[in-house]
Chain A
């Protein structure tokens, strides 16, 4: 059974940092893109970043470029999202998602940016 389990969310002040982790199981993690998608409270879905199989290609939505960094460790079946210089508008549930086409989602972890 495919499982994606996110962790690392929480309350952080504006300007602060958080590192999200996603532990994957039930599939060959090293093959295929991994992505992060977020959803602000009561809002729609926004793709945030993705990373190719070997980590040699990374893509970001414009609003997080220079602040967020996606990475992966295929030996640990894990993908990460380092979030720096957090803003109020980054408050959202962050989902770890399998594939370029986003075909399997974790349950999400809530990030709240507030003073």
Chain B
């Protein structure tokens, strides 16, 4: 199985400041056939199911604010919230779908 490791486990950021979450996979998620990284980012708020934010490592899902961005390739990926808003308080998960899907352990984002 592909192991996904996120850092940090939790993060406190002031409103309007940048939040950065890292995700590392135990093997490359880059497909040589289509040059795409099989990596997604999800946001989960209490009592709600996860919501897809980013797929193919950097493509924003429809309706997701542009303050959310994804970057990286191969085994190292980043989710950036450029200007944290109160409604962004949540747990964020990375997930690979290169093989049988696996998730990172989650990063809790709070307001400082």
Whether the pair B50, A100 counts as a contact (CB closer than 8 A) is no
Q: Chain A residues with Cβ under 8 A from B103's Cβ? A: 44-47
A112 to B102 CA separation, bound complex (whole angstroms): 23
Let me know if B97 and A100 touch, CB within 8 A. yes
Give complex CA distance A102, B101 in Å. Answer: 8
Q: Is A59 an interface residue, CB under 8 A from the partner?
A: yes
Q: Which of A44, A50, A106 interacts with B49 by CB under 8 Å?
A: A106
Task: Please judge, given known A-B contacts A101-B38, A105-B49, A106-B49, whether A47 and B55 are in contact too, CB under 8 Å.
Answer: no
Q: How far is the CA of A106 from the CA of B49 in the complex (A)?
A: 7
Chain A contributes a number of interface residues (CB within 8 A of B) equal to: 19
A27 within 8 A of B: no
Please tell me if the beta carbons of A59 and B105 are within 8 angstroms of each other in the complex.
no
Docked pose: A103 CA to B51 CA in angstroms: 8
Say yes or no: A101 contacts B55, CB within 8 Å: yes
Docked complex Cα distance between A37 and B93 (Å): 13
Residues of B within 8 Å of A95, CB to CB, are 49-50
* Contacts of B56-112 to chain A: CB distance below 8 A: 61, 93, 95, 97, 100-106
Contacts of A101 in B (CB 8 A): 38, 40, 55, 97, 101
Q: Is the interface of B mostly helix, strand, loop or mixed?
A: loop
Select the residue from B55, B103, B106 with max chain A CB neighbours within 10 A: B103
- Scan A31-60; emit 1 where CB is below 8 A from any B CB, else 0: 000010100000011110010000000010
Contact partner, A35, options B38, B93, B101, B102, Cβ 8 Å: B101
Q: Is the CB of B100 within 8 A of A45?
A: no
Q: Is the Cβ of A100 less than 8 Å from the Cβ of B101?
A: yes
Q: Which residues of B contact A61 (CB under 8 A)?
A: 100
Q: Which residues of A contact B48 (CB under 8 A)?
A: 107
Can you list 29 contacts pairing A with B, beta carbon distance less than 8 Å?
A: A37-B101, A45-B93, A45-B95, A45-B103, A46-B103, A47-B100, A47-B101, A47-B102, A47-B103, A50-B101, A59-B100, A61-B100, A95-B49, A100-B97, A100-B101, A101-B38, A101-B40, A101-B55, A101-B97, A101-B101, A102-B40, A102-B101, A103-B40, A103-B52, A105-B49, A105-B51, A106-B49, A107-B48, A108-B49
